[in-house]
Amino acid sequence: MEAIPIKRAFKYRFYPTDAQAAELLRTFGCVRKVYNLALAARTEAWTLRQERVNYNATSAMLTAWKKIDELAYLNDVSSVPLQQALRHLQTAFTNFFARRARYPRFKSRKKSRKSAEYTTSAFRFRDGRLTLAKMAEPLDITWSRPLPEGATPSTVTVSQDPAGRWYVSMLCEDPGIERLPTTDAAVGVDTGLNHLLTLSTGEKITNPRHGRRDRARLAKAQREHARKEKGSANREKARRKVARIHARIADRRRDNLHKLSTRIVRENQTIVIEDLSVRNLLKNGTLARAIGDAAWNEFRGMLEYKAAWYGRDVIAVDRWFPSSKLCSNCGALRDKMPLHIRTWTCECGITHDRDENAAKNLLAAGLAVSACGAGVRPQRSTPGGRPATKQETLRRKP
């Protein structure tokens, strides 16, 4: 097995002192303020003068902002997270102009993620003790797993989730990731709601429905939150209670998806999935909650980055490919296949399970096109921004 240098984030929970928590919350607010000021300046420059403002220009603006009396508090926190916020904004604009993301949006005090990124000049990591700039004491970190031997973090990101939990994420090079031996195993994966995954081998993986398990408890907590007076301390306590239930659901879901994706990547050289537009599927008012709870996009993301780590291939098939309506035995195509039909019999006499048949068709389509040197995921739009037609769809690897 061949070891490859991979940069990997190791996330740990920590428990700050009151002084550390106050310093971090102040830093989060300053990071949000600088990001919003820079976004407003770049937007105004383009709207009024058709002028593009880059990172260097916003960095010079930050120096000027610190000299203004109303923004003098920016000098009270480390300058590194503020500069990193400007770099993140530059990345957001780069992705926007490359049509990989929407236009950057302003950060909200209540809704945006609370985080700050520190580079090597703003933290000290010695003997397993991490000390951030502007802090006298190291963070009290719960080391749930060790860092790679001899690893030194290149960046450290501190965050607080809506449930009030504090996390520190360290980006390190992990030499322990090795490419797995090449095999001939390939599998098609069909996602669903009754069964989270159906494999072309015939295996069906039950959908745990993590959200449904805590639905009654969540509804009760939300009702209690709605009854509290806005702006009161009791309302904040109730909000935290709702957030903790959401966090517990998300943690269980993520743990299950990690286990499934790791197993599938380790057992198969080629994995074929369907290029679903989950955003559009969530517009279905009847199934939106169940689709969101299944987290198909999160599962696909895990498959893709783990496949890159271990030398596997993930192929995404065009979402318009009729995997459910196509007979995997004779290739006959049915005109319609409503969702309530779970089994059907083809003219050739074969009775199909809807999901298993779809997984087999996905596998066949993925292997057929990849054998010709191309993948099967379509471009999402034409160069002019118009959605591609089926005939214009280009098939390529993700």
Is there a single domain that holds both residue 198 and residue 146? no
Q: Considering 130, 150, 174, which residue would you say is the last residue of a domain? A: 174
Q: Which domain holds residue 203?
A: 186-209+248-370
Is there a single domain that holds both residue 123 and residue 199? no
In this predicted structure, what is the pLDDT of residue 391?
A: 34
For residue range 307-340, what is the model confidence (pLDDT) as tens digits?
Answer: 999 999 999 988 888 888 888 888 888 888 888 8
- Count of domains for the chain: 2
Is there a single domain that holds both residue 158 and residue 264? no
Asked whether residue 112 is domain-assigned, the answer is: yes
pTM confidence score: 0.83
Asked whether residue 55 is domain-assigned, the answer is: yes
Is there a single domain that holds both residue 204 and residue 342? yes
Is there a single domain that holds both residue 102 and residue 80? yes
In this predicted structure, what is the pLDDT of residue 286?
A: 87
Asked whether residue 361 is domain-assigned, the answer is: yes
Upper half-sphere CA count for residue 335 (Cβ side, 13 Å)? 0
Is there a single domain that holds both residue 29 and residue 167? yes
Is there a single domain that holds both residue 197 and residue 136? no
Is there a single domain that holds both residue 364 and residue 252? yes
Is there a single domain that holds both residue 139 and residue 271? no
pLDDT-based confidence at residue 350 (cuts at 50, 70, 90): confident
Asked whether residue 386 is domain-assigned, the answer is: no
* Residue percentage of the chain with pLDDT more than 70: 92
The catalytic residue among 174, 274, 275, 293 is: 274
Asked whether residue 385 is domain-assigned, the answer is: no
For residue range 36-87, what is the model confidence (pLDDT) as tens digits?
Answer: 999 999 999 999 988 989 999 999 999 999 999 999 999 999 999 999 999 9
The catalytic residue among 23, 190, 275, 318 is: 190
Is there a single domain that holds both residue 92 and residue 199? no
Is there a single domain that holds both residue 205 and residue 166? no
Is there a single domain that holds both residue 308 and residue 164? no
Asked whether residue 225 is domain-assigned, the answer is: no
For residue range 256-283, what is the model confidence (pLDDT) as tens digits?
Answer: 999 999 999 999 999 999 988 888 889 8
Asked whether residue 270 is domain-assigned, the answer is: yes
* 355 given a catalytic annotation: yes
* 174 given a catalytic annotation: no
Asked whether residue 70 is domain-assigned, the answer is: yes
The catalytic residue among 174, 275, 355, 356 is: 355
